[in-house]
Chains A and B, each alone.
Chain A
């Protein structure tokens, strides 16, 4: 890299020419909007009348609390419920990671139809989107869906799935697992597994290690960098996720049980036209993501071992 740095003489103008299209679009549609969102959160605006400066009122309405009948009640209890929903849905992340890791380990053996299986497992990820969500909505149909008919063979009847307050979120999690377990995570783990030198395993076998022991002491630690990366990206995605699922499959769910924070933002911005309030929620979400990422970085960075 140093050699090239010397070869390519410092040329700001040329660089600008190359960068300009991407940078311009990037500034206009990504960087500046972030600042604009911060600014917007200090206003109350419904797109049609003039915006009204309200300072921190939006944040207070969102995060604060007030006295009510002698006890404290939060100003926006729905926000906390939806935040809880989002966090609950994120519980699928460790399950997904464990499942992907397991599948990768099984697929890493010298089996004959490896590529075939890998392709099949990848299909749900490839096709992910509204089409698949409608399919699962149909599968979860209480009367005519595939799942209930399958379960009735074993005598389990009458589950309401997406129409049930308690089962809606697990139902969405099952769908997320199906759609993600053989996907990019598994591919990343497969790539990671192939970097583990077989000598380590041979040495362990000579020392008399069993399968579980080999996993705990060799495979799992060596996959740590990959796991760490997957974990962080999944967390970031998890916080902002759930919008499509909520919109297409449950419209927010029975009594708000499947509304996530991003769906809430959409509701306030594009249904109730509270632009400022929606921006405030988005900023709070951003802060959450930032905090979680920083904590993970600090804490998790120590756990990542390189041999």
Chain B
């Protein structure tokens, strides 16, 4: 293996090229996961945010020092000069105003371990929630941003764009629609952050609650169950019946064996659209429409598994079987104790490929089911849009939920996956 400069340049170029291709492959996945963790306002507003930035609501950890912050607000409320803090004070309701004022007067010290908390300390801890809700309520008000009060505040480019949208620039109509979509909240949050840079630390929040939203919302947990159940049952059934038939084709001797197998092969060429309609009619007549039986049984019998396992069985050396036959072992015994244990790689490959194929199958579940609680994951995802409108962050969450099991199966079964492709030579 010569290590000539030419070879080194080729290798270097290859690395660069492969890295570029790799990045192209990974980037959409990253984008998908990122979008699934964004808030609705953020997803729509900032497509180029490669990392979640300003969250649109205040969390408790966002305020660096609550007492000091309350102090500032209370003081500004008393002052005459218009200021952002004064505007917030003005918009606060009675109860939160009390709490801010109380807390601003006291000087709470941290509680020593084991010591009994003093009254002012109790107030601060338990009422942070009230203060936070009060502030978040203010963020939703259209009149929060007032040019007089926020004159001296430096707004980011994004906030300026939004403000122009609200106010209408150069004689354009003010765009009031943004108030409804949550963008107002986001905008006000930007203003708040710009007004109090020292007091507010925007935490980079990943909205994990998107996942709970999607799973807990109507029927999605059920849909997940459907997919898992159907996939497991079909995979088990397919591997079992295919291995039995493959054993018959590979080893046993019976009339018409080759002709029947040719028939199997021929069907691999038939478009699924051809069989779909009569099978649907049959399933409907049997009363299996919109049921697990209808989702599982018609799918269990493809020729692919038999074909692939037969290939493999024929390659298994016959010595062990010869010995077993001479010892008087029954055919079932040979199948169970000799051939199957030797075929673990092929069986694993078939299991994995079948799992993937059933998990992502779309057309047949779409045809057979017509109520939401019987949908499988792909069908539910496709129907998502009709149910929830175009909420990309939720749809990306659904996509991630669908993809993760396949990724896990692939990562753990990678070896068998590749083996399966080589054995069967057909796309999964």
- A160 to B278: give the CA distance in the assembly, Å: 39
In the bound complex, do residue B271 and residue A262 qualify as a contact, i.e. CB atoms below 8 Å apart? yes
CB contacts (< 8 Å) of B306 on chain A: these are: 22
Q: Which of the candidate stretches A11-19, A164-172, A216-224 sits at the interface with the other chain?
A: A11-19
- A139 to B263: give the CA distance in the assembly, Å: 43
Q: Which of the candidate stretches B16-24, B140-148, B192-200 sits at the interface with the other chain?
A: B16-24
Q: Distance in Å from the Cβ of B420 to the closest Cβ of chain A?
A: 10
CB contacts (< 8 Å) of A126 on chain B: these are: 356, 406-407, 410, 417
If A21-B244, A37-B278 touch, whether A187 touches B335 (CB-CB below 8 Å) is no
- A131 to B395: give the CA distance in the assembly, Å: 9
Q: Indicate whether A151 reaches chain B with its CB closer than 8 angstroms.
A: no
- A129 to B273: give the CA distance in the assembly, Å: 18
Q: Indicate whether B53 reaches chain A with its CB closer than 8 angstroms.
A: no
The count of chain B contact residues (Cβ–Cβ below 8 Å) is 101
In the bound complex, do residue B18 and residue A117 qualify as a contact, i.e. CB atoms below 8 Å apart? yes
Q: Indicate whether A307 reaches chain B with its CB closer than 8 angstroms.
A: no
- A21 to B240: give the CA distance in the assembly, Å: 9
In the bound complex, do residue A8 and residue B14 qualify as a contact, i.e. CB atoms below 8 Å apart? no
**Which residues in window 253-312 of B have CB below 8 A to A?**
253-255, 257, 260, 263-264, 267, 269-282, 284, 297-298, 300-303, 306
**Which residues in window 24-79 of A have CB below 8 A to B?**
25-26, 28-34, 36-37, 40, 47
In the bound complex, do residue B322 and residue A3 qualify as a contact, i.e. CB atoms below 8 Å apart? yes
In the bound complex, do residue A5 and residue B271 qualify as a contact, i.e. CB atoms below 8 Å apart? no
CB contacts (< 8 Å) of B10 on chain A: these are: 109
In the bound complex, do residue A37 and residue B277 qualify as a contact, i.e. CB atoms below 8 Å apart? yes
Q: Distance in Å from the Cβ of B102 to the closest Cβ of chain A?
A: 45
- A145 to B48: give the CA distance in the assembly, Å: 9
A4, A33, A229, A247: the one within 8 Å of B278 (CB) = A33
In the bound complex, do residue A8 and residue B253 qualify as a contact, i.e. CB atoms below 8 Å apart? yes
- A129 to B401: give the CA distance in the assembly, Å: 12
CB contacts (< 8 Å) of B359 on chain A: these are: 129
Q: Which residue of B lies closest to A29 (CB)?
A: B298
In the bound complex, do residue A106 and residue B18 qualify as a contact, i.e. CB atoms below 8 Å apart? yes
In the bound complex, do residue B362 and residue A286 qualify as a contact, i.e. CB atoms below 8 Å apart? no
In the bound complex, do residue B22 and residue A127 qualify as a contact, i.e. CB atoms below 8 Å apart? no
B244, B284, B396: the one within 8 Å of A134 (CB) = B396
Q: Which of the candidate stretches B29-37, B54-62, B70-78, B175-183 sits at the interface with the other chain?
A: B29-37
In the bound complex, do residue A130 and residue B360 qualify as a contact, i.e. CB atoms below 8 Å apart? yes
Q: Indicate whether B248 reaches chain A with its CB closer than 8 angstroms.
A: yes
Q: Indicate whether B113 reaches chain A with its CB closer than 8 angstroms.
A: no
In the bound complex, do residue B244 and residue A19 qualify as a contact, i.e. CB atoms below 8 Å apart? yes
CB contacts (< 8 Å) of A146 on chain B: these are: 27-28, 31, 47
Q: Mark A199-233, 1 if CB is under 8 A from B, else 0.
A: 00000000000000000000000000000010001
CB contacts (< 8 Å) of A47 on chain B: these are: 281, 284
Q: Distance in Å from the Cβ of A211 to the closest Cβ of chain B?
A: 9
CB contacts (< 8 Å) of A30 on chain B: these are: 267, 270, 275, 301-303
> Which of B26, B245, B274, B395 is most buried by chain A, counting CB atoms within 10 A of its CB?
B274
CB contacts (< 8 Å) of B366 on chain A: these are: 247
If A15-B254, A184-B421 touch, whether A123 touches B271 (CB-CB below 8 Å) is no
CB contacts (< 8 Å) of B356 on chain A: these are: 126
Q: Indicate whether B84 reaches chain A with its CB closer than 8 angstroms.
A: no
In the bound complex, do residue A25 and residue B269 qualify as a contact, i.e. CB atoms below 8 Å apart? no
A111, A135, A182, A244: the one within 8 Å of B28 (CB) = A135
- Would you call the interface of chain A mostly helix, strand, loop, or mixed? helix
CB contacts (< 8 Å) of A293 on chain B: these are: 269
In the bound complex, do residue A23 and residue B245 qualify as a contact, i.e. CB atoms below 8 Å apart? yes
In the bound complex, do residue A120 and residue B22 qualify as a contact, i.e. CB atoms below 8 Å apart? yes
Q: Indicate whether B331 reaches chain A with its CB closer than 8 angstroms.
A: yes
CB contacts (< 8 Å) of A98 on chain B: these are: none
Q: Which residue of B lies closest to A102 (CB)?
A: B17
**Which residues in window 129-165 of B have CB below 8 A to A?**
none
Q: Indicate whether A237 reaches chain B with its CB closer than 8 angstroms.
A: yes
Q: Which residue of A lies closest to B43 (CB)?
A: A144
- A184 to B11: give the CA distance in the assembly, Å: 24
In the bound complex, do residue A7 and residue B322 qualify as a contact, i.e. CB atoms below 8 Å apart? yes
In the bound complex, do residue B244 and residue A37 qualify as a contact, i.e. CB atoms below 8 Å apart? no
> Which of B47, B257, B392 is most buried by chain A, counting CB atoms within 10 A of its CB?
B47
Q: Indicate whether B221 reaches chain A with its CB closer than 8 angstroms.
A: no
Q: Indicate whether A110 reaches chain B with its CB closer than 8 angstroms.
A: yes
In the bound complex, do residue B277 and residue A275 qualify as a contact, i.e. CB atoms below 8 Å apart? yes
In the bound complex, do residue B241 and residue A21 qualify as a contact, i.e. CB atoms below 8 Å apart? yes
CB contacts (< 8 Å) of B427 on chain A: these are: 183-184, 233, 237
Q: Indicate whether B111 reaches chain A with its CB closer than 8 angstroms.
A: no
**Which residues in window 261-278 of A have CB below 8 A to B?**
261-262, 265-266, 269-270, 275, 278
**Residue positions of B touching A, CB distance < 8 A:** 1, 10-11, 14-15, 17-18, 21-22, 24-29, 31-32, 35, 43-44, 47-48, 240-242, 244-245, 247-249, 251-255, 257, 260, 263-264, 267, 269-282, 284, 297-298, 300-303, 306, 314, 318, 321-322, 325, 331, 335, 356, 359-360, 362-363, 366-367, 377-379, 381-382, 392, 395-396, 398-400, 402-403, 406-407, 410, 414, 417-418, 421-422, 425-428
Given contacts A18-B252, A141-B392, 11 further A-B pairs with CB under 8 A are A9-B253, A18-B248, A25-B241, A28-B282, A32-B278, A33-B282, A40-B281, A131-B398, A138-B395, A229-B425, A243-B363
CB pairs A–B below 8 angstroms (24 shown): A3-B322, A10-B254, A11-B331, A18-B252, A22-B244, A34-B267, A40-B281, A103-B21, A106-B18, A109-B10, A120-B26, A123-B407, A126-B406, A129-B378, A131-B381, A141-B392, A143-B47, A146-B28, A149-B47, A191-B422, A233-B425, A247-B382, A248-B362, A290-B269
**Residue positions of A touching B, CB distance < 8 A:** 1, 3-5, 7-12, 14-16, 18-19, 21-23, 25-26, 28-34, 36-37, 40, 47, 103, 106-107, 109-111, 113, 117, 119-124, 126-132, 134-136, 138-139, 141, 143-146, 149, 178, 182-184, 187-188, 191, 229, 233, 236-237, 239-240, 243-244, 247-248, 261-262, 265-266, 269-270, 275, 278-279, 281-283, 285-286, 289-290, 293
Task: List the 6 closest A-B pairs by CB distance, nearest first.
Answer: A25-B301, A129-B360, A131-B399, A22-B245, A15-B254, A36-B278
